[in-house]
A and B are shown apart, each in its own frame.
Chain A
Amino acid sequence: MSAVLHPHGHGADHAHDDHHGAPHGWRRWVYATNHKDIGTLYLLFAFTMLIIGGVLALGIRAELFKPGLQLVNPELFNQLTTMHGLIMVFGAIMPAFVGFANWMIPLQIGASDMAFARMNNFSFWLMIPAALILAGSFFMPGGAPAGGWTLYAPLSLQMGPSMDAAIFALHILGASSIMGSINIIVTILNMRAPGMTLMKMPMFVWTWLITAYLLIAVMPVLAGAITMTLTDRHFGTTFFNPAAGGDPVMFQHIFWFFGHPEVYIMILPAFGIISQIIPAFSRKKLFGYASMVYATSSIAILSFIVWAHHMYTTGMPVTGQLFFMYATMLISVPTGVKVFNWVATMWKGSMTFETPMLFAVGFIFVFTMGGFTGLILAMAPIDLQLQDGYYVVAHFHYVLVAGSLFTMFAGYYYWAPKWTGVMYNETRGKIHFWWTLISFNVTFFPMHFLGLAGMPRRYADYPMQFADFNALASVGGFAFGIAQVYFFFFVVLPTMRGKGEPAPQRPWEAAEGLEWEVPSPAPFHTFETPPKLNRDATRIVA
């Protein structure tokens, strides 16, 4: 009787929720306007893309297992790295967080649904054709785009028709993201239950509010950059084509003006999830709620003035390099505040370590390593050694995989009992955690050494001195991939089928928030009349 697969006909005690029940069959999903169904769709879509992007990554790791080209030619190799990046960023991580937002934001603020239910449907279903176009580009003449996920000009001008397909797909995904963000902002600002003031909102809602503003600010910038690429390719403009006076470096400025806030779009909701899980399992309030909100806002604002740290080697004036170096290093201050806050929350708590908490603690530990390598990369002189090398690859996988992906796992384990009405299998959850944590580090830690020793990224073949660490990383990569297949078949699927211990309404002893005020699984409709809340807006008072 899980909300995910069988929403209709849950217990008679909340039958009033069912007066207009869920539609049946395919219509339920295609015509979906219910935030929970759309959230489920987003999460399943994102997981599918995670697997596709993961298979591409394993193609990369298999080729790099030893020197020499054994499996793919350099052209296909570049297609693999490019599509792995695009699919993971735009197809997996961003939609997954939108899925979490759809499921949890209305539940956490006591709203009946998202503000624009039909637009919500549209923003999801737009992603399907976009994903098909993106993934289908492998079968176009000349293969998928091979210019790197950053699509740098003028290399992007040399690509075949698949580049146009990718641009089109990114436009659609961008439109979907913008609609999703507007929906989230309007929902949060207008549909909170009475008494849920802004400074009483759960941290996940706060971080998503800030993220949604970031998205609205920068997705159009990406759209501009790729539209200019498109007109350069087909309509005789020369924005980035140096042969006719264009400026390829301008593309990088525009791209990273989008790209750096994008990095925070992918991590701020993660901070929100962690800021809820750590207090729940420490049985103690978040140490500094207000300072967490301010830190998140500062990170968001700073993210707009650091973009050119991706471009130290393009040859900036010395003042430019210094400015971007200082601004980038400054971001470590609010990020540090967050980490200190989590540790202070755990301090003198009464902790238990169910899987959500394991992933949350694992996140803090491994993400912080990614933060420190980020600080090291921010130093322009050191970056001259490391830019475009494997150290950078290690760094951004530490913040995006150990950062974003680990928190999504944490969030899944934390909220799935509410979504599905059954408890996941704790032993399997723990196996998934340790297996993921260890294989992740086996994959990406050696890449720091490769980067320091000078191995450039996006190389299909490499000098033999790099062979051992590459072999190690490849073995780790495959172990990591298998862990996620295990997660789907042995953890997620059973809960979706409703197999497991029935989840109580409050599966976690000290978890706070309105989502724990509704039964498990969450009924198809919740909070149809605004609930009356207690003083700190965490409970419904009758």
Chain B
Amino acid sequence: MMNNIYKKFEQASIALFAMASTMAWAVNDLPGGPAVRQLNLHPPVTKIAEEQVWLHWFMLIICTVIFVAVFGVMFYSIWKHRKSTGHKAATFHESLKVEIAWTVVPFVIVILMALPATKAVVASKDTSNADLTIKATGYQWKWGYDYIKGEGEGIGFISTLDNAQREMSNSGKPEPTDDYLLKVDNPLVVPVNQKIRIITTSNDVIHSFAVNSFGIKQDAIPGFVRDTWFRAEKTGDFYGQCQELCGKEHAYMPIHVKVVSAQEYTAWVADQNKKLAAKQDDPNKVWTMADLMQKGEKVYAANCQACHQANGKGMGPIKTLDGAAVVLDADAGKVIKVLLNGQNNLTMPAWKQLSDSEIAAVISYTKNNWSNKTGQLVQPAQVLAARQ
């Protein structure tokens, strides 16, 4: 009878769990990112990460052994030395020998644990002799990557979460997606088997650059530069997320690193340089209203919409653009200044990393969208002038 009830309960709970896990979220493991119901650290692709995984197992085993030993004794005592079994309390207490032993033994164990950890710390801190140096800049809420030294020097771009995924999150009913909240427009591309030094800094508040499979995590601190390094031993896509609370979109600034072969990397660099040349703004070009509006809409969607909303009304502390005095003002210099320098302790961040034409276009867009019908145009030359 009891057996039967137990079996039924077991079946019911398995069914319930299966329903909860498979019906709602039909997702697969993401190679280089999290696996479904992953229990341990990511499979390592660098020596440092390998070391970390080994250290974690080492610690876990020692701790488990001690745990089982100590609580084995405790539960044995709980079982045997109960009043209800008629056990009479002994009267012993204080024993210098025992007390010295249980101070010295843990001390020795701790030293044994510290030795391999020391080796790993020293290795992870050695950022010298890098083949490629990349600066990762945290922005609220995106990453900027600048290739500073090595093959690809001069390449720089911004990496933002896929806007469709951000909207899916807001909708409350995201479709099952394997790389949910991890898909970016421009991944960081690096060659395999080369020592990559990442310099981190930030434009506003503290962010943290991390990729689990590489075993790296380094805060990006405004006003300071810090560095870390990795040498990926496998090609593929690897993911991380910002790890230091950086404001409302903290969960929406992922890191995607694409590790490619040396040849693919060289090809990618050539391609980027070509695009870079094409993108160069001619500051003297005079844009038409239609072109500015078209470009501005794209820039707005990629950079502004998360806070100011599609309707331009903002929300909470985020100011409205629709009908705002500074947007409507005939002196475009005011609003250009806000975009270049930020405002309200950078609650409105500085956008100086955008190109002149992008800033000109997005300002023109806000001046002529929603109920704002000023007819005013801002040209890239004005932005360039304001930069100086």
User: What is the interface of chain A, defined by CB distance below 8 A to chain B?
Assistant: 66-70, 73-75, 78, 141-143, 146-148, 152, 154-155, 157-158, 160, 233, 242-243, 245-249, 282-291, 313-315, 317-318, 321-322, 325-326, 329-330, 332-333, 336-337, 339-340, 343-353, 361, 364-365, 368-369, 372, 375-376, 379-382, 384-385, 387-389, 449, 452-456, 458-469, 471, 510
A468 x B36 contact (CB < 8 A): yes
How far is the CB of B153 from the nearest CB of chain A, in Å?
Answer: 24
Q: For the complex formed, measure the closest distance between the CB of B270 and the CB atoms of chain A, giving whole angstroms.
A: 33
CA distance A332 to B93 in the complex (A): 23
Say whether B93 contacts A321, CB under 8 Å: no
- How far is B43's CA from A228's CA once the two chains are assembled, in angstroms? 43
B122 and A318 contacting across the interface, CB-CB below 8 Å: yes
User: In whole angstroms, what is the CA distance A321 to B81 when docked?
Assistant: 45
Contact with A along B233-265 (1 / 0, CB 8 A): 000000011111111111110000000000000
Collect the chain A residues with CB atoms within 8 Å of residue B162's CB.
none
Would you call B386 an interface residue if the criterion is a C-beta within 8 Å of the partner chain's C-beta atoms?
Answer: no
Contact assessment for B250 and A75 in the assembled complex, using a CB-CB cutoff below 8 Å: no
B59: interface (CB < 8 Å): yes
| Bound complex: CA A72 to CA B60 (Å) | 37
The answer to whether A141 and B317 touch across the interface, beta carbons within 8 angstroms, is: yes
Q: Are A329 and B102 in contact (CB under 8 A)?
A: no
Q: Are the C-beta atoms of B248 and A75 separated by less than 8 Å?
A: yes
Residue of B217, B221, B251 near A384 (CB, 8 A) is B217
Q: Name B180's contact: one of A353, A384, A454, A463 (CB within 8 Å).
A: A463
The answer to whether residues A246 and B102 also contact, given A155-B205, A376-B60, A458-B250 and a CB cut-off of 8 A, is: no
Partner of A344, one of B98, B179, B182, B223: B98
Given A155-B245, A462-B251: A384 and B106 within 8 A (CB)? no
**A74 in contact with B251 (CB, 8 Å):** yes
Question: What residue in chain A is nearest B250 (Cβ atoms)?
Answer: A458
A455 to B181, CA, bound (A): 12
Q: Assess whether B218 is interfacial by the CB under 8 Å rule.
A: yes
Complex Cα–Cα for A73 and B251 (A): 12
Smallest CB separation, B204 vs chain A (Å): 7
Q: Is B310 an interface residue (CB 8 A)?
A: no
Q: A142-B316, A350-B82, A368-B67 are in contact. Are A333 and B34 (CB under 8 A)?
A: no
Q: Which residues of B contact A154 (CB under 8 A)?
A: 204-206, 222, 345-346
B binding-site residues for A, Cβ under 8 Å = 20-21, 24-25, 27, 29-30, 33-42, 48-49, 51-52, 55-56, 59-60, 63, 66-67, 70-71, 73-74, 77-78, 81-84, 87-95, 98-99, 102-103, 106-107, 110, 113-114, 117-118, 120-122, 124-125, 168-174, 176-182, 200, 204-206, 208, 212, 215-219, 221-224, 226-228, 240-252, 315-317, 344-347
CB < 8 Å: which of B39, B90, B208 contacts A349? B90
B327 CB to nearest A CB, Å? 21
B-side contacts of A243, CB under 8 Å: 222-223
Say whether, besides A464-B177, A467-B24, A380 and B117 are in contact (CB < 8 Å).
Answer: yes
A-B contact count (CB 8 A): 327
A348 to B42, CA, bound (A): 45
CA distance A286 to B91 in the complex (A): 10
- Contact yes or no, A288 B93, CB < 8 A: yes
Query: Please, how many angstroms separate the alpha-carbon atoms of A340 and B74 in the complex?
Result: 10
Q: Do A350 and B243 form a contact, CB below 8 Å, given A74-B250, A142-B317, A333-B106?
A: no
CB distance from A92 to the nearest CB of B (A): 22
Q: Which of the listed residues A339, A351, A469 has the most CB atoms from chain B within 10 Å of its own CB?
A: A351
From B42, B125, B168, B347, name the one whose CB has the most chain A CB atoms within 10 angstroms: B125
Known: A154-B206, A385-B212, A449-B39. A332 touches B110 (CB 8 A): yes
A453 to B102, CA, bound (A): 35
Give every chain B residue within 8 A of A157 (Cβ-Cβ).
345
Q: Are B52 and A346 in contact (CB under 8 A)?
A: no
CB-CB < 8 A to B243: which residues of A? 313, 387-389, 456
Give the docked Cα–Cα distance between A277 and B223 (Å): 52
- Please determine whether A459 and B250 come into contact, CB atoms closer than 8 angstroms: yes
Chain A residues contacting B174 (CB-CB under 8 Å) are 67-68, 464
**Which residues from A are CB-within-8-Å of B59?**
375-376, 379, 382
Asked whether B77 lies within 8 Å of A346 as measured between CB atoms, the reply is: yes
- Separation of A77 and B122 alpha carbons in the complex (Å): 38
- Asked if B90 and A379 sit within 8 Å, CB to CB, the answer is no
| Interchain residue pairs A-B with the least CB separation, the first 10 | A242-B223, A315-B226, A453-B38, A381-B120, A350-B89, A348-B90, A465-B34, A459-B251, A70-B172, A283-B89
State which of A143, A233, A379 has its C-beta within 8 Å of the C-beta of B113. A379
- Separation of A382 and B56 alpha carbons in the complex (Å): 6
Which residue of B has the minimal Cβ distance to A63?
A: B172
A460 partner residues in chain B, CB cutoff 8 A: 250-251
Report the separation of the CA atoms of residues A462 and B181 in the bound assembly, to the nearest whole angstrom: 7
**Once the chains are docked, how many angstroms separate the CA of A347 from the CA of B67?**
17
Taking CB as reference atom, which chain A residue is nearest B48?
A381
Query: Given A157-B345, A333-B103, A284–B223 Cβ distance below 8 Å?
Result: no
Asked if residues A368 and B39 are in contact (CB atoms below 8 Å), the reply is no
Q: When the two chains form their complex, are residues A343 and B52 in contact, meaning their CB atoms are under 8 A apart?
A: no
CB distance from A394 to the nearest CB of B (A): 13
**A350→B246 CA distance, assembly (Å):** 54
- Complex Cα distance, B73 from A478, in Å, reads 34
Residue in A78, A143, A289, A463 whose Cβ sees the most chain B Cβ within 10 Å: A463
> In this complex, what residue of B is CB-closest to A279?
B93
Neighbouring B residues of A73 by C-beta, 8 Å: 248, 315
